[in-house]
Structure formats: C-alpha cells, structure tokens
Amino acid sequence: MTIDHLFTARDETDWRNRLPATRCVFGSIEYARIVEKHLDYSARLFSVEDDDSSITYPVFLRPIQDLPFATNSQDHYWDTLSPEYTGPFLSGQPSSDLEVSFAERWSVRCHREHIVAEFAHLHPWDSRPSCLKSADLQFNREIVYVDLTWPIERLWSDSYNHACRKNISRAQRETVRVVTAESDKDVEEFYRIYLHTMQRNQASGRYFFSLDYFLDFFRLLPQHARFALALFQDKIVAGTLYLHDDANIYSYLGGADHAFQHVRPTNAIVHEIIQWGKGLGKRRLILGSGYQPNDGISRFKAGFSPLRTEFYVYKRIHRDDIYSSLSEQWRAHFGPSAKPGGYFPAYRELPPTEDNTVSPQ
C-alpha cells in the first residue's frame, strides 16, 4: 500500500524519522526551522511511502502575495524552492513503481496547494532525479569536491595543486592556527568578517544574513555545523561555516579580512577541515563553485582538487496560466526595458540596477 504525507516544521518526530540531519543536513528540520525564521518561507517535507521504501522531498513555499505586483486573486498561490543539495531522497529498496507514484502524487499536491512553479537544487550523489520530469532537469554548472577517502599523502600530492600547497605552507610558517567557534562571541567575530567580505565584494542582497541567522546554526545544529576560524597573532582573520552530515561536508558561507590575505588563512581553514573530515570518516568535502566560471573563488576552490561533478537544477511550471500572468505583471512593473536574464521563476528576477546585483541560482 502506498501513502503520502505533507509535513510541516511542527511535525518534528515525523520529519526526523524520514529525513534526519545525519542523512541530509540541508533537508533537516533544524535547517528548515532556521530558514523559516529568517527568510519567512514555509517549510514542507513531502513523503511517499510503501512497505519497503520511501521517497522524501524537502521544499520551501514562497508566497506569491509578497511580490510587489501580485494581485488579490493570487494571494493563495506559492512557488517552491528546495534547500541546497537536496531533491527527492530514497530510503529503502529502489522501486520504479514508487518513483512513478511519487511524481504523480507530488504533481497532485502541487495543484491542490496552488503551487505555480517549482525550483530545486539536486544533490549530485544522493537525490533521485528519476522521480522528476526529465524535460525539466537542467545542467547548471560543475562543482569542485575533495575525495576524503584518499590518504592524506595523496591529497597533498595529487589533489592540491602547487599554488595551494605553497599557500598552506605559507600559513604554517606564519603560525596561522585554525580553531572552532565555542561561544556566541566567536560567532560574532565570524559575522564581523563575513559582513565586511560581502560588502567588499558587493555581493547580492541574498547573502546579507543577520547575526542571529548564524547564531541559530551555532545553537540549533551543534552536531552538524562547524565554524572554522583562522587566528593570526591571536586575531580572527578568516572564517567559514561548514555544514555536515554522515557522508558530506559542505562549504556554506565564509569570509576573510583582506588585510591578512598574505598569510593565507582560508587555505589553512580548508586544509584543516579536510583533515578533520577524514578523521570523522566523511566521504567528501563539497566546495562548490564561484559566482562565475573561472572567477577568483572558482580558482581558489579548484586548487584543492581536480575532481568535478555535475550539478543539476529542476525547473517546472505547474500552473501555466498563473505563471504567464505573473510574467506579464513583472514586465509591467519593471518597465519595457527589463528583460528576464534566466532566473527561475522569471517573475522573481530582479533586473540589474546600480544598487542591485542579480546572483546565480
């Protein structure tokens, strides 16, 4: 017998039983609650189950009514956004029948819940894209990852490139130390550096999180979030927040004091996290990519590993009529010179201006 459920963040036991943080930290109820609190999204976990297996899919609902051009008739419509590195997850025995049932039942749910469009970031190793409509799957980019099953000697010689090894050695000579945040004060220092980094880089507004956002990771996900801080002459000069589950470590958000770039603190952080992850038996450190191909961030991450994997996203329109209306309203609101640049859903794109930078999905 096949059944389906749609859980909210109030259904703590049901959510944890089906998708614990050990399986997927981004799909955990703790992460869902942090995002609900700070970004005003509504978290849901859709689950389809039979006697032998289950497929679970975490999503966030974003209200259409928050759009500046939405009409009253669109008040009860939503679109969905998945957490990073998620998508549908299988537990138990693979079953093509269950995958078909998942696709059918999720589509019915989307219509019942008035979901206009669906966007998902798919986990490169753990998600089940076969549960989704293949025509709506889209290659997004390649991401860098480090294979933590390699011996440390091989990582040093075959994974790190020459410049990376040189920079790690420089940090060691300068006696840069890497420590873990142990107090709110440490997280506040991390935030100071993070905020200055975002300002210096003129980052998109979506990266300007509050201090409380980071404190919630420290307090609510203590077993799955690690703030790695680089100290130089007893001063915190760089920091990165890593999230982790049983198999993977994810480089999430971070920054560095540009005045201390010469002692290579971020190289020291990544090198330490690799050793730490190996000690815990993790399989991968997922470094991701940069804002643009071959930008400075991309080159930095590539220095730690030659390994790449394909990263896919999912873009599906469930209500063509509402989507078309919203797209027309978007054009009327921003003017005839505004042209969609590839963001999905198109009606959520912010046209570039002097004060706004459109960031990649």
Token couple for 282: 């993790």
Residues 262 and 280 in one domain: yes
Residues 291 and 215 in one domain: yes
Residues 331 and 273 in one domain: no
What range defines the domain where residue 250 resides? 143-310
Distance between alpha carbon 323 and the CA centroid of its chain, in Å? Answer: 25
Residue 357 lies in a domain: no
Residues 306 and 326 in one domain: no
Mean pLDDT of all residues in 185-197: 97
Residue 243 lies in a domain: yes
Cα–Cα distance between 246 and 282 in angstroms, integer? 6
Using CB atoms within 10 A of its CB, is residue 162 exposed (0-12), middle (13-18) or buried (19+)?
A: exposed
Residue 355 lies in a domain: no
Helix (H, G, I), strand (E, B) or coil at 299: helix
Cβ neighbours, 10 Å, residue 4 = 17
Would you say residue 360 has pLDDT above 80?
no
Residue 203 has a pLDDT of 87
Place of tokens 């989507």: 323
Residue 337 or 266, more confident: 266
For the entire predicted model, the pTM comes to 0.94
Q: What phi, psi does 104 have (nearest 5°)?
A: -70, -45
Instruction: Indicate the number of domains in the chain.
Output: 2
Residues 296 and 155 in one domain: yes
Query: Comparing C-alpha atoms, which of 170, 220, 211, 215 is closest to residue 192?
Result: 211
Residue 358 has a pLDDT of 39
Would you say residue 135 has pLDDT above 80?
yes
Residue 92 lies in a domain: yes
Residue 96 or 360, more confident: 96
Cα–Cα distance between 176 and 21 in angstroms, integer? 32
Token couple for 27: 């799909």
Q: What is the radius of gyration, based on Cα positions, of the chain?
A: 21
Mean pLDDT of the chain: 94
Residue 324 lies in a domain: yes
Residues 262 and 121 in one domain: no
Helix (H, G, I), strand (E, B) or coil at 110: helix
Cα–Cα distance between 344 and 327 in angstroms, integer? 11
Mean pLDDT of all residues in 162-189: 98
Residue 177 has a pLDDT of 98
Would you say residue 354 has pLDDT above 60?
no
Cα–Cα distance between 121 and 59 in angstroms, integer? 10
Cα–Cα distance between 191 and 214 in angstroms, integer? 8
- In this structure, of 6-20, 145-159, 202-216, 269-283, the range with the lowest mean pLDDT score is 202-216
pLDDT tier at 295, thresholds 50, 70, 90: confident
Residues 108 and 179 in one domain: no
Residue 353 has a pLDDT of 54
Would you say residue 359 has pLDDT above 50?
no
Would you say residue 356 has pLDDT above 90?
no
pLDDT tens digits along 223-250: 999 999 999 999 999 999 999 999 999 9
Roughly what angle, to the nearest 10 degrees, separates helices 265-279 and 162-173? 100
* CATH of residue 160: 3.40.630.30
Residue 340 has a pLDDT of 78
Residue 273 lies in a domain: yes
pLDDT tier at 346, thresholds 50, 70, 90: very high
* CATH of residue 328: 3.40.630
pLDDT tier at 294, thresholds 50, 70, 90: confident
Cis amide leading into 345 (omega within 30):
yes
Residues 42 and 127 in one domain: yes
Residue 150 lies in a domain: yes
Sign of torsion, CA 158 165 155 218? Answer: negative
Residues 107 and 191 in one domain: no
Helix (H, G, I), strand (E, B) or coil at 84: coil
Residue 111 lies in a domain: yes
Residues 100 and 179 in one domain: no
Residues 105 and 127 in one domain: yes
Residue 354 or 191, more confident: 191
Residues 83 and 186 in one domain: no
